[in-house]
Amino acid sequence: MTITLKSGADIDGMRTAGRLASEVLDMLTPHIVPGVTTLQLDKLAHDHMVNVQGGIPATLGYQPPGYTAYPASLCASVNHQVCHGIPNDRALKNGDIVNIDITVIKDGWHGDTSRMFIVGEGSIQAKRLCQITYEAMWKGIHKVKPGARLGDIGHVIQTYAEGAGFSIVREFCGHGIGRKFHEEPQVLHYGRPGTLEELVPGMIFTIEPMVNAGRREIRELGDGWTIVTKDRSLSAQWEHTVLVTETGYEVLTLSAGYPALPAFLQPAPALATS
């Protein structure tokens, strides 16, 4: 396995691409309401990436071996769709949940991130699934530091999600990223601590757990891209691009409109003094 370590200049490029990807999601947030279609969201995102940011939508025309070319500038996975949902003209309705996955190429560097959105007023289960998945991602991110291992990340994500009564999709994983959309290493969202590759400064990869409300089994739809839960249970995913630093980690896909961090990452409030 060849893992490409990034230089200081490389990291600067990745910071820019990552911030831009997150800013696309900031821009989309007020538009994700009942009645909008994912095709409309795709057009908004495409125009913003190309005309405002001067970037390239990485998914548009993306064609790994054995696949047809992906036809859109973002992935939009609704309800029981796990990942790689293709935007269409179906209007989102109150209570839907949708993952929007954005990858921007800027000056040759890829910034990759996704968020869950609850359309209108979601069910208690939907809200809990989205929240637990968000927290599971951050639990994994918080394990990133030199000397840790990829298995540490997978283990804490799996333990947290399964402890909440949910299941982890195993067929898809995080990945190294840089000038290529997908590089080594593969970042599993399950596993045993102390196993797999050791983390060293300069590694950049995504952490992007897919968590199902029901069973973990999935299947692919006939479009060759969209993945759904076999039992049609709801599925959620969050994703960040993360750099291993000399002392820990830096999340490269944060922006001004990013959701609040989980409580366990917040600094303790200062005590009032008289």
Q: What is the CATH number of the domain that holds 199?
A: 3.90.230.10
271: pLDDT strictly greater than 80: no
Average pLDDT over every residue of 8-30: 98
Answer whether residue 3 is part of any domain. no
Residue 212: how many other CB atoms lie within 10 Å:
24
Judge whether 139 lies within some domain: yes
Q: Residue 274 above 50 pLDDT? A: no
Is residue 131 domain-resident?
yes
pLDDT higher than threshold 70 for residue 268: no
**Cα 72 from Cα 55, distance rounded (Å):** 15
Residue 137's φ and ψ, nearest 5 degrees, are: -60, -50
Domains held by the chain: number: 1
Q: Would residue 260 count as lying in a domain?
A: no
% of the chain exceeding 70 in pLDDT: 97
Residue 113 pairs with which residues in a beta bridge?
102
Q: 229 in a domain, yes or no?
A: yes
Give the pLDDT band of residue 265 (cuts 50, 70, 90).
confident
- On the question of pLDDT at 191 being above 90, the answer is yes
225 pLDDT exceeds 50?
yes
Reduced to 3 states, what is the DSSP secondary structure of residue 136? Answer: helix
* Residue 120: per-residue pLDDT: 96
What sign for the dihedral angle of Cα 22, 187, 167, 262? negative
- 109-159 pLDDT, tens digit each: 999 999 999 999 999 999 999 999 999 999 999 999 999 999 999 999 999
- pLDDT tens digits for 201-214? 999 999 999 999 99
Give mean pLDDT, residues 98-111. Answer: 98
| Residue 138 within a domain | yes
Let me know if residue 177 belongs to a domain. yes
| pTM for the model | 0.95
Determine whether 259 is exposed, middle or buried from the number of CB atoms within 10 Å of its CB (0-12, 13-18, 19+).
Answer: exposed
**Which residues, listed in sequence order, are joined to residue 148 by a DSSP beta bridge?**
none
Residue 274 falls within a domain, yes or no? Answer: no
Domain range for 162 is: 8-253
Angle between helices 124-141 and 150-163 (to 10 degrees): 160
CA atoms within 13 A on the CB side of 90: 13
SS3 category, 12:
helix
Distance CA 100, CA 172 (A): 16
pLDDT at 1 over 80: no
- Mean pLDDT (the chain, rounded): 96
Residue 190 burial (CB count, 10 A): 20
pLDDT surpassing 60 at residue 269: no
The single-letter DSSP state of residue 183 is E
The whole-number average pLDDT for the span 162-181 is 98
Cis peptide before 71 (omega within 30 of 0): no
